[in-house]
Homo-oligomer: A and B are copies of this chain.
Amino acid sequence: MELMIYVPVVMAVIGLLFMYVKRAWVLKQDAGDGKMKEISDYIYEGALAFLKAEYRLLTFFVIGASILLAGISFIVPTTHILIVVAFIFGAIFSALAGNMVMKIATKTNVRTTQAARTSLPQALKVSFGGGTVMGLGVAGLAVLGLTAFFIFFYHYFMGGAWTTTEQMTIVLETLAGFSLGAESIALFARVGGGIYTKAADVGADLVGKVEAGIPEDDPRNPATIADNVGDNVGDVAGMGADLFGSYVATVLAAMVLGNYVIKDMGGSINDAFGGIGPILLPMAIAGFGILFSIIGTMLVKISSDDAKEKQVQGALNIGNWVSIILTLVSCYFLVDFMLPEVMTMEFYGEGAKEISSMRVFYATIVGLVVGGVISSVTEYYTGLGTKPVLAIVQKSSTGAGTNVIAGLATGMISTFPTVLLFAAAIWASYAFAGFYGVALAASAMMATTAMQLAIDAFGPISDNAGGIAEMSELPKEVRTRTDILDSVGNTTAATGKGFAIASAALTSLALFAAYVTFTGIDGINIFKAPVLAMLFVGGMIPVVFSALAMNSVGKAAMDMVYEVRRQFKEIPGIMEGTGKPEYGKCVEISTKAALREMMLPGILTIGFPIAIVILGKLVYGDNNQLIAEMLGGYMAGVTVSGVLWAVFQNNAGGAWDNAKKSFEAGVEINGVMTFKGSDAHKAAVTGDTVGDPFKDTSGPSMNILIKLTCLIGLVIAPILGGHTEPVSTIKEEVKKEIQVTVNSQNDQLASAIIITTKTVNGKTFTETQTISGTLQEIEKKANEINGNK
C-alpha cells in the first residue's frame, strides 16, 4: 500500500475531471438574448479586470516575499530554498482557484437567469451546477497542489522513503511555503474583494436608491455593474481563495503533527504506507472528501416548479448530510486502515500515553459534529424568523439606534454558544488524540469543502441572476424564482461563514501546535511578562484590522458616490434611459480603491509577527526560546480575539440583514403589520448598512488573518532556533582527578581518591570515590579510568 501516497492525487484529478465535465455542461446552457448577454459581459469583463489588476499588484508582493524567504533560507540551515518555489506555486494556485471560480460564476449567472425563465428546478440545476464546478475546482486544486508538492519534496529530500522525523520536518517546512503562498493571496483577495463589493454596493445604494430614488439593479445607475462585479470578486473569488487556503493549511497542519506522532513513537513506525501513515491520513481524508462531495452534489435537485425555500433548502441539506456521513464512515475505515492500532502519544505535561488509534477517529467525529452544530447555531442567530432576528425587528420600531444596539448585542451574545462549542471541541479532540486529534477534527470538517463551497456559491450566483433579470427587464416570475434561490443562498451564506470560522479556528490551533513543536519550546507560558504583553498585542490586531477594513469600505464608497453623482449630473438623458452611463468608470474606481485600501490591513497582518521577532532579537538577543514564546503568545492572542470578532461581526451582520429582509413579507410589531417603507423598515436598513462591512468585509477576513498569522509563525519557527538547536541538549562535561597515596604501613598498598566533577547544563555534580589495592592495581585502574587502556 505504499501507493497510498498517490491516492489523493488521483482523487483530486477525478474531482477536476468531473468539474471539467460539469463546466462544459454549464457553459453549454443557453446564455440568453442580447440585453442579458450584454450585461453579463460587462460583469464578466469588470470582474476579470479587477482580478487582473489585483494579480498584477500581488506579483510585486510575491516577488518581495520570495526574496525575503530566500534570504531566510540562506540564513537558516533547515529552511531550504525550495520553500520559495512552493510559495510561488501556492500563490499561483490560489490565484488560479480564485480566477477559475470567478469566471465560472459570471458565466453561470446569466445562464441561471435564462434557466429561471423556464422553471425553478432548472434554475437550481444551473446555479448549483456552477457552484459544484467552483467547489470541485477549489478542492481539486488544493489537494492536487499540496499532495503533488509533498510527493516531490518527499522524494527530493528523503528519496521517497522514511528516514527521520528531522528530515520529514524539512519536507513539511518547505511544504509550508505552499500554504503560505496560498493564504497570502487569499488575504488580499478576501480583503480587496470585500472592500470592492461593499464600496460598490454602498455607493450604488446611497446615490441610486437614496438620492436618485431608482430601484436596486436599475441599469440607469452607473454603479450597478460594479455592484454586480463586487458580488463576484468578493463573495465568489474571495471565498474561493479563502477556502482554498483553509483546505491547504488544515491538511498541512495535520501532516506536521502526524510527523510528531511518529517522533513520539520512537522516530519511525512500521506500517504498510512506508512508515508515514499518520502523515498520509489527512491527505487521504481530503482526497476521499472530494469523491463524497461529488456524490453529495448529485443529490441536490428538486422536481416541482412550485417548490419554495423549504424544498430547496431540503435538497441542499440532503446532499450535504450524505457527503458528511460518507466522510464520517470513510474516516473510520481510513483511521483503522492507516494508523497503527496502538499509538504512543506525548500529552503535554502528562507524559507519553498509549492510545488506541480509534481515538483519532473519535476526534474526527468531534470535527464533523462541530461543523454541523456551528451551522445550526449560526442559523439560530441569523436566520429569518428566529427569535434573535425577530427581537431586532421589534427594536426597529423605536428607531435606528435601538435596532443597531440589538444587532450588536445579538452578534456579541452569539459568541457564547460558539466559543463554548469551540472550547469543548478543542478540549475533546485533544483529550482523544492530542493536537493531532485537533488537526484531524479540522481535516474531517474540511473534507467536504467542495460540497460546502457549492452550497455557498450558488447564493451569489442566484443573487446576480436576479440582478441580471432586473436589469434586462425580464418578466416578474423570473425574478421570483431567482429570489427563492437567493433567499436560501442567504441562509447558506451565513451558515457557510460559521463553517469557515470553525475550520479556521481549529486549523489555527493545529498550526499553533505545529509551531510549538517546530520551535521545540516547551510550551507558551503567559506568566512571562513579555509573552503576556504579546498576548495583549495579538488580541488587539483583529480589532484594528476590522476597523481598517471598515474604514476602507467607507472611503472607497465615498469615491464611488462622487463618481455616480458626477455621471448623473454630466451625462445628458441618463435618468431617462436615453444616455448611457459609463459603467467602466465605476468599475475602475472600485478596483483602484479596493487595491489601495487592501494594502494597510495586509501589511499589518504580515508585518507584526516579523516586527515581534525583530524586537525580540534586539532585546533578548539569542534567547530564542523566549522570542518563540512571545510570538506564540501573539499568535494565541490573534486567534482567540480573531475568532471572537469573526463570530461577532458575521452574526451581527447576518442578523441585521435578515431583520431588514423580514419587512419584505411584513412583520408584526406591537400588534401592527409593518412592511417595507415604514419607519421601522428604514431603521432596519440602517442596521443592515452597518452590518454590510461586518459580514462581507471585516468579518470573513478574520479567518484568513488568524490562519495567515499562524502560518507566518510556522515559517519563522526555524529562525527561532527550533529543532536546529534543540533546547533539550544536555551539555555534559566530566573532569576527573585522581590522587594516589601510598599506604604508610605497606608501600605496596595504595589508595586513590577519584574526584569526578560532572557539569550538566551549567550545574556541577561532584563525586568522590576511593579505591585501594596494590600500587600496580591502582595504577592499572587509574589508567582505565582515564581511558588509557
Seen from chain A, the residues whose Cβ lies within 8 Å of a Cβ on chain B are 206, 210, 348-349, 395, 398-402, 404-406, 408-410, 412-413, 415-416, 419-420, 422-424, 426-427, 430-431, 434-435, 438, 509, 513, 516, 523-530, 532-537, 539-540, 543-544, 546-548, 550-551, 553-554, 561, 626, 632-633, 636-637, 640-641, 643-644, 648, 685-690, 693, 743, 745-746, 749, 751, 767-772
Contacts and interface: CB of A to CB of B under 8 A. Distances in A.
B689 A420 contact: no
Contact of A554 (B405, B516, B543): B405
A640 B641 contact: yes
Contacts of A693: 405
Contacts of A532: 426, 509, 636
A246 B745 CA distance: 80
B548 A413 contact: yes
B431 A536 contact: no
B348 A525 contact: yes
A651 to B, nearest CB: 11
Contacts of A401: 400, 685-690
A769 B772 contact: no
A348 B644 CA distance: 30
Contacts of A413: 544, 547-548, 551
Nearest to A410: B547
A529 B426 contact: yes
B689 A405 contact: yes
A404 to B, nearest CB: 5
Given A401-B689, A426-B533, 16 more contacts: A206-B399, A348-B525, A349-B626, A395-B554, A398-B561, A401-B687, A405-B550, A405-B553, A406-B551, A406-B554, A419-B536, A424-B533, A427-B530, A526-B633, A535-B636, A641-B641
Nearest to A395: B554
A655 to B, nearest CB: 12
A534 B424 CA distance: 9
Contacts of A540: 415-416, 419-420, 644
Q: Which of A400, A526, A546, A745 has the most CB of B within 10 A?
A: A526
Closest 4 CB pairs of A and B: A401-B689, A430-B529, A412-B547, A523-B525
A233 B525 CA distance: 42
B554 A402 contact: yes
A529 B431 contact: yes
Contact of A438 (B526, B529, B626, B743): B529
Contacts of A412: 543-544, 546-547, 550
A434 B767 CA distance: 37
Nearest to A513: B527
A511 to B, nearest CB: 13
A526 B526 contact: yes
A419 B554 contact: no
5 contacts: A401-B688, A412-B550, A423-B533, A435-B529, A543-B644
Given A547-B409, A770-B771, A539 B404 contact: no
Contacts of A690: 401, 404-405, 408
A431 B529 CA distance: 8
Nearest to A413: B547
Contacts of A419: 536-537, 539-540
Contacts of A547: 408-410, 412-413
Contact of A426 (B398, B434, B536): B536
Contact of A636 (B405, B526, B553, B554): B526
Contacts of A423: 533-534, 536-537
Nearest to A544: B416
Contact of A543 (B415, B434, B751, B769): B415
Contacts of A422: 533, 536
A624 to B, nearest CB: 13
Contacts of A745: 746, 749
B561 A348 contact: no
A621 to B, nearest CB: 13
A751 B768 contact: no
Contacts of A509: 532
Nearest to A693: B405
Contacts of A640: 535-536, 539, 637, 640-641
B689 A686 contact: no
A539 B644 contact: yes
A216 to B, nearest CB: 16
Contacts of A534: 423
Given A405-B550, A412-B547, A640-B641, A526 B524 contact: yes
A536 B690 CA distance: 26
Nearest to A751: B772
A523 B529 contact: no
Contact of A348 (B420, B513, B528, B751): B528
A435 B533 CA distance: 13
A640 B424 CA distance: 21
Contacts of A426: 529, 532-533, 536
Nearest to A423: B533
Contacts of A438: 529
